[in-house]
Structures are given as C-alpha cells and as structure tokens.
Amino acid sequence: MKTTTMAVILAGCGNRDGSETHETLSALLAMDRRGISYKCFAPQGDFVVYDHSTMQPTDQKRNILIEAARLCRGDIQPLENYNPSDFDALVLPGGMGAAQNWSTYAFEGKDMSVLPEIEKALIDTHNAGKPIGAMCIAPMILAKVFGSEHILLTLGSRCEAAEAAMAMGCRHKECPATDAVTDHEHKIVTTPAYMVATHISQIFDGADKMIEQVQSLIR
C-alpha cells in the first residue's frame, strides 16, 4: 500500500513572526501517528524578528527558510522545489508568519496580497485536486486566493479575521479549537487553533482532526 505523503509549508519559527511551534509540531505528530510521511518547505526572503519575551519587533532580520528549519530538524527545502504531483495533500500551520511573511494581512487586512510563491503553490495544489489543510490565521491565505470560489472555512469565532474572509467571498463557520471544518467540494480543511485555543492539548486535538479530515479527502 502506498504511503500517504503530505507537504507542509512553514513561515519561520515562532508564533509572533513565523510558524506557531505548537501548531506545527501538533500537525507533524498527527501525521506521524497516522503513518503519514511529510516534507517541509518554506519560501526564501527576510523578515523582521520579534523578541518573543516581549512580543515586540527588533532591528534584526532573518531568513524565513533558515528559521523554519528549526522546526523540522533541518529537513526542509525551498518552496520553489514544491511540486503537488509528489504529494497527496498540503498543510499550512498558523502563526503570524502567515500574516506577515506569506502575506500582508497583518498590515492591510482584507486588502492583503499573498506572496506569489505561496499563491502558486496553493493554486497548483488545488488545480491538481489535492486537499489543503490550514490552521489558525493561515486560512486567511486561502480566503485571499480562493475567496471567489466561496470556500467554507473557520477562524474560530466571528472575529475580525472572519469578517475579512467573508468580505473576500468566503463562507465562515464557527468552530472550537478541538475540531475542524471541512469543505468537501473544494477539499479544504481548517481548524482555528490559537485563534480560540487556551491549552496546547486543544491544539493537538484540532490538528489531529484536521489531518484526519485531510486524509479522508485524498483520492
């Protein structure tokens, strides 16, 4: 039997300026426990580093891919090497890196733009009929790219981000951190994670549900 393989795109390392560590590792653990293999990717480019003890920006800049490599013990490739035909699904952990390294959502809200490399990876995956999972704030990237298709997603509660996603054409469903919302038509699964979660155990439960649903959409 062929082993299921998922690609994971990272945005750095750290909840304030990269991929959220609890969410990323929960998703990877959920895959591993289900016998799913994975490969991590990240775009190149520099970002403003935040001091995670104060949650304030610093005068430092670091490379997205180099920082993301911390989350996967160095087993990572540039996003330009990603080919949907090599994988069964694509997963996007959350963290503010999605809002400011992959896109301009953190600065421009619903008028955001998405990094071309990220947009291409998503469109190519979608056009190949492969499912996509996204956590926390990462569904905003899907909202911008696929909002015109009126995709169904969750950002947890009826928050500012949810309002922005709906303004882009998306349908929004409220959801607890321990669950996930599945758009069967568009093969998109989202879980709110730290948009609403208060405990790390909730993050894992939601990630596990998301991976379960993504796997169920693989044909």
For the chain, what are the domain ranges? 5-216
- Rounded average pLDDT over 4-24: 95
How is 151-206 classified by DSSP, letter by letter?
Answer: -EE--SSS-HHHHHHHHTT-EE----TT--EEETTTTEEEE-GGGT--SHHHHHHH
d(CA 138, CA 103): 10
Residue pair 50/57 in contact by the 8 Å Cβ criterion: yes
pTM of the predicted model as reported, rounded to 2 decimal places? 0.95
Residue pair 203/22 in contact by the 8 Å Cβ criterion: yes
pLDDT of residue 117: 97
pLDDT of residue 95: 95
pLDDT of residue 60: 83
With bands split at pLDDT 50, 70 and 90, how would you rate the model's confidence at 218? very high
d(CA 10, CA 181): 21
| CATH numeric code, 5-216 | 3.40.50.880
| Residue partners of 134: CB distance under 8 A and separation at least 6 | 91, 92, 94, 141, 142, 153, 188, 189, 190, 191
The two structure tokens encoding residue 12: 């750095």
- Tell me which of 4-18, 45-59, 85-99 is least confident: 45-59
Candidates 13, 40, 136, 170; catalytic one: 136
Q: Say if residue 201's pLDDT is above 90.
A: yes
d(CA 140, CA 147): 9
Q: Tens digits of per-residue pLDDT, 154-178?
A: 999 999 999 999 999 999 999 999 9
Q: Report which residue type is found at 49.
A: V
Q: Tens digits of per-residue pLDDT, 80-135?
A: 999 999 999 999 999 999 999 999 999 999 999 999 999 999 999 999 999 999 99
d(CA 171, CA 168): 9
Catalytic-residue membership of 72: no
Q: Say if residue 58's pLDDT is above 90.
A: no
